[in-house]
């Protein structure tokens, strides 16, 4: 019974890989809106419209539950979608909350008042749109007090990763870490707030130093989804066929995805 996973491009494949290993019995339908990627440079209304269209396509594929494996969509569109657009028999979940729960050492669904936590200085690396939304800070404030967050917009990094230019991607990571450290010299934790960034996690860790705890999302989201499906088994949709869908050029996206995950991936037009 299918579950949908959406990203503006290929970054959500890091989440798909983790959830597929964690839940091998679940058929996942992945949709990449490669035609309109990257989302990180778009305004909030544009991101909202594109995310709604992609979510509808996944519902049409038999996925009653859709995971926004795109931090920009989670940050700029999800709350608005939940308040005014998603029908009662569907669910759309983002990728911020599992990350924040892990960092603040909370169990899923712990809605107790915000409290002091061990980590006081947090670096957030994300797309420009995610940084502008301040969604991470908002969600964190529901759970923790006294945490200083310094956000660094990582312009150009998603494009470099999507194009497979890892030399440029590494240079950009180191440049963005240097810029962050000028604002926050000694972060205790770093959030990789884009699902593309786990592919560069070793570079982030090296640039930040071994004393900084680096949090990325794929495995945390996989554990959270497994827990959610145990508690809400009815949210597995009627779809039965795993698929990779793209709004872009299917052959080109397939080639990049194969390089991205180091296994054969075949996309079809959405």
Strand 148-153 versus strand 213-215 pairing type: unpaired
Q: Spell out the residues 6+ positions from residue 148 whose beta carbon is closer than 8 angstroms to its own.
A: 120, 121, 122, 184
Measured between alpha carbons, how far is 236 from 90 in angstroms, rounded to an integer? 10
Residue 52 annotated as catalytic: no
Q: What is the DSSP letter of 18?
A: H
DSSP, res 198: G
pLDDT tens-digit profile, the chain (270 residues): 899 999 999 999 999 999 999 999 999 999 999 999 889 889 999 999 999 999 999 999 999 999 999 999 999 999 999 999 999 999 999 988 888 888 888 876 677 899 999 999 999 999 999 999 999 999 899 999 999 999 999 999 999 988 889 999 999 999 999 999 999 999 999 999 998 999 899 999 999 999 999 998 888 899 899 999 999 999 988 999 999 999 999 999 999 999 888 899 999 999
- Structure tokens given for 139: 């969600």
Query: Which among 52, 63, 70, 154 is annotated as catalytic?
Result: 70
pLDDT at residue 62 in the model = 95
Alpha-carbon distances of 218 from 15, 16, 71, rounded to whole Å: 4, 8, 12
**DSSP label of 242:** -
Is residue 63 among the annotated active site residues? no
| Residue 119 token pair | 């980590």
Ramachandran area for residue 129 (φ above 0: left; ψ -120 to 50: alpha; else beta): alpha
Q: Residue 106: what pLDDT?
A: 83
- Cα(126)–Cα(217) distance, rounded to whole angstroms? 12
By three-state DSSP, how is residue 164 classified? Answer: coil
From 52, 63, 154, 194, active-site residue: 194
Dump the DSSP string for 111-150: -PPPEE-S--EEEEEE-HHHHHHTHHHHHHHTTEES-EEE
* pLDDT score, position 105: 85
């Amino acid at each position: 019974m299918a579950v949908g996973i959406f990203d503006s491009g290929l970054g959500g494949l890091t989440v798909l890989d983790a959830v597929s290993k964690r839940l091998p019995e679940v058929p996942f339908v992945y949709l990449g809106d490669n035609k309109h990627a990257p989302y990180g440079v778009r305004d909030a209304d544009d991101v909202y419209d594109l995310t709604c269209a992609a979510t509808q396509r996944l519902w049409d594929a038999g996925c009653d539950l859709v995971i926004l494996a795109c931090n920009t969509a989670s940050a700029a569109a999800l709350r608005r979608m939940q308040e005014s657009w998603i029908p009662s028999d569907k669910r759309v979940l983002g990728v911020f909350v599992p990350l924040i729960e892990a960092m603040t050492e909370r169990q899923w669904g712990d809605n107790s008042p915000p409290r002091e936590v061990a980590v006081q200085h947090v670096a957030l690396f994300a797309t420009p749109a995610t940084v502008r939304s301040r969604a991470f800070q908002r969600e964190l404030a529901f759970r923790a007090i006294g945490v200083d967050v310094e956000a660094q917009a990582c312009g150009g990094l998603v494009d470099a990763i999507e194009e497979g230019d890892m030399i440029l991607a590494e240079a950009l990571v180191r440049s963005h870490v240097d810029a962050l450290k000028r604002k926050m010299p000694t972060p205790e934790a770093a959030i990789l707030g884009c699902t593309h960034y786990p592919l560069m996690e070793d570079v982030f860790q090296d640039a930040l130093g071994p004393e900084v705890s680096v949090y990325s999302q794929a495995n945390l989201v996989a554990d959270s989804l497994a827990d959610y499906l145990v508690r809400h088994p009815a949210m597995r949709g009627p779809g039965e066929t795993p698929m990779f869908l793209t709004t872009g050029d299917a052959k080109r996206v397939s080639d990049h995805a194969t390089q991205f995950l180091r296994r054969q991936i075949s996309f079809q037009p959405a």
